[in-house]
A = this chain, B = another copy of it.
Amino acid sequence: MTDQMKCITLAARPEGAPKDSDFALESRDVPTPGEGEVLVRVHYMSLDPYMRGRMDDAKSYADPVPIGGIMEGGGAGEVLASNDPAFKPGDKVFGMFGWATHGVQPAKMLRKLPDGLPITTSLGVLGMPGFTGWYGLTEIGKPKKGETLVVAAATGPVGSMVGQIAKARGLRTVAIAGGADKCKLATETFGFDAALDHRAYDDARALRAALTEAAPDGIDIYFENVGGKVFEAVLPLMNRFGRIPVCGMIAGYNTGALGGTPGEGPDRFPVFWRNLLVKHLTATGFIISNHWNQYPAFLNEVAPLVASGKIAYVEDIAEGIENAPRAFMGLLEGKNVGKQIVKLI
């Protein structure tokens, strides 16, 4: 009898927030690696906001997961069998195995993990989210000493990277996070100069008033990763020549309305446009998967800082693949604290 693996498949396309019945836990045969392929036992899998987009049938920058297909995602684990000389059993690797306990990938799609750091770091602080924060801040945000940065979801793996790199480069850093505990984490663990709990403010106007105090010299870089109320609050406070790196926006993933709910905010295009024009703002979107060529530069700079503890990271680890859907739903609601991971073994 062939060995069995477990996986989570897409049972139905969610309307709005995903629910239990949109996912199915299945058992399948462990796949056999072909020529040049590698079989991996996944120890930890990653949960990330972009996965919500893959559940929709809408045209996007990546193909949707088909109904009945394994949910997409990255994982870190150990090579069980290899048909490529570059890998041998026991090697620790990262690859896109999906929400599954085992996976086969072409060797060239795998990344060998360095010794000396927990393999979970390849999913968060030194993986796609950390790289997203680093790339967006440094390549698009172009931070300069003495400037002020604002980032939301600031205790997540993207926001906390953005804040720590910005702080190290001499910027004033302002966190926006959900709840007093996350605000404390932002300042105490990630070194933000100030942190605001967006739940404590009824609307964008109230949040903006608080931001005015937290960022008394205005905002030079707004790292946009949530949209909605935060963006609306921030926009009028941007300084001339401000930069807005735009990565995915979790607030919009569940509604289909990237950029927040329609209304009086900057999603009223003219408001955004007028600010852009009058203040010489630059907004640049990016999809991190188009920039892997700069990933080695990121690792060269940041991996030593993580190893030495100069860059902090926080992980939120759920146990068991059967709990992945619930952990994912929680992630979309901001219930996790730090990088959401699922331990599979």
| A interface list, Cβ under 8 A from B | 60-61, 227, 240, 246-249, 252, 257-259, 266-270, 272-287, 290
**CA–CA, A247 to B280, complex, Å?**
9
Contact A259 B273 (CB under 8 A): yes
A61 contacts which chain B residues (CB < 8 A)?
Answer: 277-278
CB distance from A102 to the nearest CB of B (A): 32
Contact A270 B282 (CB under 8 A): no
Contact partner, A277, options B274, B279, B282, B286, Cβ 8 Å = B286
**CA–CA, A282 to B136, complex, Å?**
13
* Closest Cβ neighbor of A277 among chain B residues: B285
Contact A258 B273 (CB under 8 A): yes
* Closest Cβ neighbor of A58 among chain B residues: B274
Interface of A is mostly: mixed
CB distance from A264 to the nearest CB of B (A): 12
A287 contacts which chain B residues (CB < 8 A)?
Answer: 277-278, 280
Contacts A246-B276, A249-B277, A278-B287 aside, 9 further interface pairs with beta carbons under 8 A come to A249-B273, A257-B270, A258-B270, A259-B273, A267-B270, A275-B285, A277-B286, A280-B286, A283-B284
Contact partner, A282, options B257, B280, B282, Cβ 8 Å = B282
Count of this chain's copies in the oligomeric assembly: 2
A285 contacts which chain B residues (CB < 8 A)?
Answer: 273, 275-281
Contact partner, A280, options B258, B281, B284, Cβ 8 Å = B284
Contact A60 B276 (CB under 8 A): no
CB distance from A1 to the nearest CB of B (A): 45
**CA–CA, A257 to B258, complex, Å?**
21
* Closest Cβ neighbor of A227 among chain B residues: B273
* Closest Cβ neighbor of A61 among chain B residues: B278
A268 contacts which chain B residues (CB < 8 A)?
Answer: 269
* Closest Cβ neighbor of A283 among chain B residues: B283
* Closest Cβ neighbor of A282 among chain B residues: B284
Decide yes or no: A274 and B290 within 8 Å by CB, A269-B266, A269-B268, A281-B284 being known contacts.
Answer: no
CB distance from A251 to the nearest CB of B (A): 11
Decide yes or no: A272 and B270 within 8 Å by CB, A278-B287, A283-B283, A287-B278 being known contacts.
Answer: no
**CA–CA, A280 to B290, complex, Å?**
9
Contact B259 A270 (CB under 8 A): yes
* Closest Cβ neighbor of A284 among chain B residues: B282
Contact partner, A247, options B270, B275, B277, B286, Cβ 8 Å = B277
* Closest Cβ neighbor of A278 among chain B residues: B61
A252 contacts which chain B residues (CB < 8 A)?
Answer: 270
